[in-house]
Structure 1
Amino acid sequence: MNTAFCTIFAGPRRVARVADSYAASMARQILADDPAARVLVFDEAGRQVDLDFRDEAHESATGAAPPAPAAETRGRGRPKLGVVAREVTLLPRHWDWLNAQPGGASVALRKLVENARRENAESDRRREAREAAYRFLSAIAGDLPGFEEASRALFAGDRARFAENVSGWPGDVAAHARWLAFREGEP
């Protein structure tokens, strides 16, 4: 089982990298120690995590945990197998070709998608890493000098120029951005 991690910043200082299940309690502790701290939490995809402190407030105010969500009841029909039906718009010639494939359109589409995933895995990984770094930088470094130039270097895949543009930034911000973009250094 893979554990998802979050990185917590208090201003420009990286405070911790914790399992996502501990992020809220760690952020609460930071705010308890310094109520004026600007605490930002990011997941491993560079997305800022919005924390909801209401559950803890509810527990302390009432002495009880919030009510659990209602259990889902199973209806008639086939059980859910993880298959999601969605609409795909194709030209008639595309449908003709798909329907002529062994196993029909669904099997052919699954094979096409799997082949594309395999063939594009590395370029997809690089694109996702650049997007993660950009999300992180937009949230925490958008007003720092050289942000635009660093963004251009990031999307150009120019590590040296990127490193040069972030070199004057707070060390933890620059290091985390490099890790997200290029998986260099420690998270």
Structure 2
Amino acid sequence: MSLHPSRSCIAFDGPHRIAQGPLEEVARITKLHQDAGTSGPLLVFDDADSHPIELDLRGSVDDVLARLIPATAAIEPVSRGPGRPKLGVVPREVTLLPRHWDWLGQQPGGASAVLRKLVEQAIRRGGAKQRARGAVESVDRFMRVMAGDEAGYEEASRAFYRGERALFDTLIAAWPTDVREHLQQLAAIAWDEQEDATAPA
């Protein structure tokens, strides 16, 4: 996973939040905390999905920042082949059964246009569900790492998955403040995404 300097993330020194924002700034503050001495552990999470971010904190602050991949390095040149390059159309092989090709051949606009339309429809339908699933996984990932040893963890996890917001807040009320507040933000996003995913079209 490439480390883009502008990625939004959050860092903790033990249960205490020490930084949140672009990775470059969070990495700098995390390095300074390490140099100042810390009770730890120092943990950094991606804000979007709560995946842990491994920072190489060896050397100076400049050394740490230099190891972050620049934005320009993350952009790979796009090879343009046959097709409609101005639209970014990329030719790929598609394998279908004969009856699928027969059906596509009867549709107006040609097989490519029909396939693009079907894919766009699927993306729109599945987008909300995918976001909801990702948000739920983000909560579970962060809670397991940062609160797996806290009292009431199992009960709080079950309350989250059942959507019992008041009970969830009650069960995590005694957890470290910074962990609890970030977890509540993640949970609120997940519940909202789930509501959007199940709302009538």
Question: Normalised by the size of structure 2, how large is the TM-score?
Answer: 0.66
Query: Does the CA-based 8 Å contact 1:129-1:182 persist in structure 2?
Result: no
For residues 132 and 39 of structure 1, the distance between their equivalents in structure 2, rounded to whole angstroms, comes to 19
Q: Choose from 26, 29, 32 the match for 1:26.
A: 29
Residue 38 (structure 1) aligned with residue 38 (structure 2): no
Alignment of 1:20-169 (within 5 A): 20-44=23-47, 45-53=49-57, 56=60, 59=63, 93-169=99-175
Distance in 2, Cα, partners of 1:27 & 1:104:
55
| Local SS of the residue matching 1:6 | strand
Distance, in Å, in 1 between the alignment partners of 2:62 and 2:20 is 27
Kindly tell me the number of residue pairs found equivalent between the two proteins: 175
Unaligned runs of 5+ in 1: none
> SS in structure 2 opposite 1:143?
coil
1:85 CA drift (Å): 6.8
Distance 1:143 1:84 in 2: 49
Amino acid at match of 1:43: D
- Asked if the contact 1:8–1:40 (Cα under 8 Å) also holds between the matched residues in 2, the reply is yes
What is the distance in 1 between the residues matched to 2:61 and 2:174? Answer: 40
Matched to 1:4, the amino acid is: R
* Amino acid aligned to 1:129: A
Match of residue 14 from structure 1: 17
CA deviation digits over 1:47-98, x for unaligned, max 9?
11111235758959xxxx78x98xx89989668x866777777665445434
Query: How many percent of aligned residue pairs carry the same amino acid?
Result: 44
Q: Letter of the 2:124 partner, please give it.
A: R
Runs of 5+ consecutive residues of structure 2 not aligned to the other structure: 1-5, 191-201
The 1:73/1:5 distance shift into structure 2, 3 A limit, reads closer
Distance 1:113 1:136 in 2: 32
Residues 44 and 52, structure 2, Cα contact 8 Å, conserved in 1: yes
Evaluate the alpha carbon distance shift between residue 153 and residue 117 of structure 1 in structure 2; reply closer, same or farther with a 3 A threshold.
Answer: farther
